[in-house]
Amino acid sequence: MMMTQEEIIKIVASIFALAIAIIGHEIMHGYIAYRYGDDTAKRAGRLSINPIVHVDPVGTILIPAILYFTHTPFLFGWAKPVPVNINRVIHNGGYNGAIAVALAGVTFNFILAALLAAILPLFVEPESYTALFFGYFIVQGIIINVVLGVFNLWPIPPLDGSQVVLYLAQKLRWHSLAEAYEKIYPYGMFILFGILFIPQLSSILFVPASWILKILL
């Protein structure tokens, strides 16, 4: 069945919104690390806005495609992690610097979602295909950035939330907690996918995203 022009516009707008959200998220990790004296991401060419250097086959292509074709109410994914020498960051900025690097991506996502929500009223009644594209891009951008931000705050390795917990535990000398996180790190992806594919669990963890979206939309 051939798609309509409006459906094509919506798909393209969603792809652009997702790409900006996940690529911007990763670039900010590298940029904040760079501000703390770590040029690893810069030397690797990962502070570039070129989407090709950030593509992760699973997080950028497979997961969003599965979510789209299974008609989930939202899209999310992730880009290839930006390389960071966290020891150099800690040397220059302490554990506060490491926490800042860990939170840089979600901070970008939440700020972008808020900015998009501020201009959304300009596109509530699109009168052309161009306006329709931007309107759908903005709505999807808000949803994707909020979901991605909340998702990355889950305290499950290797998500950003787990890094915050780890560096905070190390800062406060909660050695048992830090050691526990380091032990479960190799199993984090299995735990994460288990949660994502159990609707009862994932829906609970995405409740904060629903609250935020009700405010912004």
Strand, coil or helix: 6: helix
Confidence (pLDDT) at 199? 73
Kindly state the average pLDDT of the residues 51-59.
83
Confidence (pLDDT) at 190? 85
The DSSP 8-state label assigned to residue 82 in this structure reads P
Confidence (pLDDT) at 73? 63
Q: What's the mean per-residue pLDDT of the chain?
A: 88
Residue of 25 and 58 predicted with greater confidence: 25
pLDDT digits (tens, 9 = 90+) for 67-115: 777 776 666 677 888 999 999 999 999 999 999 999 999 999 999 999 9
Confidence (pLDDT) at 115? 97
Question: Distance (Å, rounded) from C-alpha 175 to C-alpha 53?
Answer: 36
Q: Which of 7, 26, 127, 182 is catalytic?
A: 26
Strand, coil or helix: 216: helix
Question: Distance (Å, rounded) from C-alpha 28 to C-alpha 163?
Answer: 15
| Ranges assigned E (strand) in the chain | none
pLDDT digits (tens, 9 = 90+) for 161-186: 999 999 999 999 999 988 988 888 88
**CB count in 10 Å sphere of residue 145:** 31
Nearest to 89 by CA among 34, 131, 136: 34
What percentage of the chain exceeds 70 in pLDDT? 97
Confidence (pLDDT) at 58? 79
Confidence (pLDDT) at 75? 66
Confidence (pLDDT) at 118? 95
Known active-site residue 26? yes
Q: Is pLDDT above 70 for 1?
A: no
Alpha helices (H) along 120-198: 129-152, 160-171, 175-184, 188-196
98 contacts 162 by C-beta, under 8 angstroms:
no
Q: Is pLDDT above 80 for 128?
A: yes
Confidence (pLDDT) at 76? 67
Q: Which residues are CB-neighbours of 211 under 8 A, at least 6 positions away?
A: none
Confidence (pLDDT) at 55? 83
